[in-house]
Structure 1
């Protein structure tokens, strides 16, 4: 896995060096622009929705071809009231309310409501805590206009509260690695990228052909990715489109959010592996096996290794840690540090001494926490399947934003 991620890091770095070169040529085709509906699903978002809509109001795109739609999903706070203040000021901002059967069922249901009540040729999605940079939407549409084979274009997201806590510093490092390894690296080598939960644009015709979002999927973005590729299209990663998002500042909120992510990805793996023979586009099998190794084989291998190591401390299992094993472990640690730090160097100001220390600490703490979390998530998902429990969506709690990244 470490060697594979080093390979992805090299691809991501190569993509970083080249992706902007197409912009001058692509800019020439930005004439007959499509209409765009931007969806912002919102449930009790009064803490952040104001900053988000201020960033949306500054988006560089013809306002007569743009509609910003806040989908208020059964909020009990001042979300609707705040949004209405913006609707009175900006004619292109709308507020809609979810209705049965989509009401109060989570993000996928809210997005389906938005799809039903919108008219744009292109659908863009942003989470309610996002402050996209001024050119973000323009670049997403630029990718679609210039690449007819792409069903969707996804941008890059950065952490707006990275310096708040030790946890947000870890998440900041994690998200940068995801952008340039998983997204940039896979796009460079395999022309594969994953639709994230935010900062992406997809053609309406594709969403209507697919029948909208899967309401049973906790990771609706990953699930949608597989179905898009199965139609024969690809998903382009274009990091010129940047949004800033808020990340959990406490371990409790992080645990709930990441548990939903892990369960969602486990659901996707099991859903599509059972349909393996009926999948039309075999390219997506690569991604399915990657998730399968990540959430099943790799983690169980690590768990077995840890159990044997701990058991050998108390009982003689006739196991010894030889010099070769120690050298391999040391090389693995150095490989982890090298690939993460090189990836951080892509983002200005991120490759520094403080982050180097956090990466070392991350290896022994944050990375190990994921093992426990994935096992716990798998237990919950198995329990849901066995007892046929209803899927319950967890919305990440927000914090007051102390700065605004959506002004560039």
Structure 2
């Protein structure tokens, strides 16, 4: 009897190798992408708000104090986890917060909704503490929730201690940690607030409101808030933003803009100290205009796909005819297309990393390889390539059946 199985030899290919790749360099009528020029900020980021890709960074991963830009995280956590009609009570600690503050008195009660406007329009430090204590019982417990959310969003170098952004430090497992973030992480938090959070619409509504008035629950005192985010009237398409200042952080800003199908986020840390309050607006405009001029929206599907083998040989696999090599067909599991801002010179590459042979048994739907979509060497999207059919392992009963079939046909 002839051998029932022949070993498949694959020459010149690795088991998990790059079989083929395709790429293109985006080109358009836009001017060649250049640096946006000198910035006042010590750390800065221009981010694609759709994909989260950093288009430009200056000391983007350098940890720095962030002042009241902290409050965007406080706001989104309260929106996601509280009923806005709940009543929050002012503690002695909350009432002791320094200016800028609402001036809430110990025991005074407010609606959560009203405190959020106080938090985001006037940047009141006591309102932040009232909200934090209302949700988690203490500032430290709320800060733990902030840090948990930061990790969930993908922030790699952020540490929250306060809900209002006042300069602070604490000892954590023998290490002194300051209240800090990076320009990249701050951009990630804003991206979450405006486009990914289930409460994004409420966040945008609050942060875009020009003015707001309210009373404490008893109705004895009235308060008025005005939005201090000058960026909202500075550029067409301005979406949201938050200012900040402490003696350690300097002037800080996080803002977002949406125009011509593009969503841009600018994060600035250490953007001047008194008397240079306007520096942050100059840097914000410069970065936003750079993004609008030099980047266009593109789908990653525009990149040429690599050739994928239509079938993969299977060692020790059952086939319909004795001696014929078993194979599995390949099926590409397409995922939702991804939109991204690309500039002149950005290289989009697609790479297929897949197995060159399999060993039985093989299940239908088993992963064979994947297609990676890369922009300038960084992977942004992945699609799986799977087995389109199952292949059983050669066993005694299959060999017997094949032998009997050949005997019946006079092949033996």
- Structure with greater proportional strand content: 2
* TM-score, with structure 1 as normaliser: 0.26
Which structure has the larger Rg? 2
* TM-score, with structure 2 as normaliser: 0.26
- Structure with greater proportional helix content: 1
